[in-house]
Amino acid sequence: MCLIVALITIASHIGSAHCKTFSALLGCRALNGIGFGGLMSLGTPVLNDMFFYHERGAIPQNSQLGTNI
């Protein structure tokens, strides 16, 4: 699932770079929102599965902090 939403996000970024009209850009940015939203919602559970129980608070916190800045 992470790979699918990552590919949607990458494709929408490339599509946004090559758009000639505002409506095409709007469509690509909407796909970007769907793809990146899915990537953000899947990131925390994946990180929680990768680290030990006592590390689970610090690692996702640093990941979210880096993404939001």
Residue 24: the pLDDT is 94
Q: By C-alpha distance, which of 41, 22, 44 is closest to 33? A: 41
Look up residue 5 and give its amino acid. Answer: V
Average pLDDT of the segment spanning 3-14: 90
Do 31 and 12 form a contact (C-beta atoms < 8 A)? yes
Residue 28: the pLDDT is 93
Residue 30: the pLDDT is 93
Tokens at 11, concatenated: 């494709």
Look up residue 20 and give its amino acid. Answer: K
